[in-house]
Amino acid sequence: MKKKKSFNASKQLQQEAQSSRRVFTRRALLLIATQTGILSLLASRLYKLQITDGDKYIKMAKSNLISKRLLAPPRGSIHDRYGDVVANNKINWRALLIPEEASDFSDVIERFSQLITLDEHDYARIQWAIDHQRRFIPIMLKDFLSWDEMALIEVNSPTLPGVIIDTGTKRVYQTGPLLAHLVGYVAPPNEKDVAANPILALPGIRVGRAGIEKTQDDVLRGTAGDVEVEVDSVGRIITTLGRKESIQGQDIQLTLDLQLQQEVNDLIGEEAASAVVLNCQNGEVMAMVSTPSFDPSLFDSGVSHSQWKAWMSDERNPLMSRTVAGLYPPGSTFKPAVALSALEAKIITENDRVNCPGYYDYGGTRFHCWNKYGHGSLNLHEAIKFSCDVYFYEVARRTGMDAIHRTCQKLGLGVSLPIELTHVKAGLIPTPSWREKRGHHWNVGDTIVSGIGQGFVQVSPLQLATYTARMATGKNINPHLVRARDNVITPEANPDFWPQLDIKPEFLKMARFGMYAVVNDATGSGKKAKINYNGMLLAGKTGTAQVKRVSRAMRESGRFNSANLPWKYRPHALFICFAPYDNPQYAISVIVEHGNAAASVAAPLARDIMLKTLRRDPANKQQRDVTEQKKPEDQEQQQPQPPKDSQDE
């Protein structure tokens, strides 16, 4: 019995040993398989690293770095209508810091500042870029480097890891102050710009801040490119591995005639004044001058505190574009608009007469005519010719400001004109509701003084030129400055693009004929603007706009003379005109701030500008003149015959 039990125990032990061997064998096989898989994966990875990508990692093993950098695109250039350059780019040198190649920003910047002076503005700009920009975007350390500064940086490059010398572009304005208010200027982007478009953080990128540079900024800016370079441990470029060129911004061709612009500017001289020359047929701006002006290139590299202070202390405000942002009472240049309003509202006819004794009494207030002796009985034509205040006091009172406002909007007065410029102001043609919204009652007296372009009425020189062009042609043109983008002419250049004005042609004819008499009749109020250039005649309207109220006692004293007032209290001198009378091609507005008398100051100036324009005839000339034929300033030929729009007085 004992022997049998011993046999069974031995057999059980053998079975347990065999089972343990089988488990060990399976585990060993599993471990071997796992180790084999891992070794195979490692072998595959080593093969890729050493054989497939061996060259790449050999370069990296030699402490080299592959760096990809974005390239700022060159800005498009701006030309006049004949291709003369008014704004383009000039190469300049700058120092950049590549963040991903510099481990210690503070140390590098400190070493750099010991070589090249950095001011507080530079430090603030650099710190902002470090805190906000992505590491692959270079940081501008210093722009507009001299040759000696570049050499100093290159010599010390081993101690300036990540600092490189790069080429950039500086915006150059060949015409200087001549076109500053139109072309505008560029400046480095601010934080708001970069937040809206990170590409603007690229060194050398400039954004338009005013004028054409701003309104056409997206077109002019172009598209960024990139370059992949190999650099050593201190950031020096060893070789270029790949490059995708940036795309330069589109070129802009303006409607302006640069030479005419210069001639108009020369005629104005040192006056605080503005002049606009429009093509009546399609709204192209031939010349647009605002004086005084400024040098726009100063904004690219930074305006000094002393220069800014000088601008701000100048009472003539050279930074303001008078043509679009300057607002003035239009004075008597407003009278044709009042006449058209009354005709449209059927308040008057061309034959209705008003008596002028030299003053107009209403509600216990006396409103004076500029002619204290009066004009007697006048119809519409005579009232425009003599610029009678009393006639337009009465006509405005009968018509009402709401009707005058409606017609003025059709003519381009009191509206924001859609020209490609910044800071364009709408001016004001007031109405009773406008006044009441501001907590004041509208009086009939407000309407009366508005009838001669005073009171609350405010317009810009550009509006006056547009108003004149629309009256002259009956076309609903809008002024514009861009003629072509990348040599593609805009549709607005075609005269057929513009619809007819929503004012009856016979009413416009009456206003034009009155303006003809102003200049060409011997007794007209603007006869100093008269021309007869190759049979072409001019029609226009004077305007003298008060900026300081003249009391009744001063008027009746017989000793008042506005020329004796301080400059800032003298009236503005205005003149509007178009020519040729029979086939209007050009419209001009002139405002001489505090010029005093329109007939003796603004009218002759407008005449000279029109003569320059007719001789050059930029609207019908395809190429810039190589030589200019000298002609007498004013060919006074025989007395002209009555024009097509004339009638017996």
Give me the active site residues, please. Answer: 332
> Which one, of 538, 546, 548, 536, lies nearest residue 605 by Cα?
538
* 8 A C-beta contact, residue 531 and residue 545: no
E strands, 309-381, where? 354-356, 359-362, 365-368, 376-378
CA 92 to chain centre: 25
Residue 101 CB neighbours (<10 A): 21
Spell out the alpha helix ranges (H) of 451-490: 461-473
Name the phi and psi angles at 472, rounded to 5: -70, -40
- Sole residue written with tokens 């005649």: 537
Residue 642 CB neighbours (<10 A): 11
Strands 252-254 and 78-79: parallel
H or E segment and range at residue 172: strand 163-172
**Helix%, strand%, coil% for the chain, nearest 5:** 45, 20, 35
The encoded tokens of residue 494 equal 């075609």
Distance between CA 367 and CA 389 in Å, rounded?
9
* 8 A C-beta contact, residue 428 and residue 456: yes
Does residue 580 have a cis peptide bond before it, meaning omega lies within 30 degrees of 0? yes
* 8 A C-beta contact, residue 95 and residue 163: yes
The encoded tokens of residue 218 equal 């997206």
> Which one, of 379, 381, 354, lies nearest residue 511 by Cα?
381
The encoded tokens of residue 397 equal 């009172």
- Sole residue written with tokens 């005709």: 343
Distance spanning both ends of the chain, measured CA to CA: 161
> Which one, of 336, 382, 333, lies nearest residue 355 by Cα?
382
> Which one, of 576, 575, 549, 328, lies nearest residue 458 by Cα?
328
Distance between CA 342 and CA 472 in Å, rounded?
18
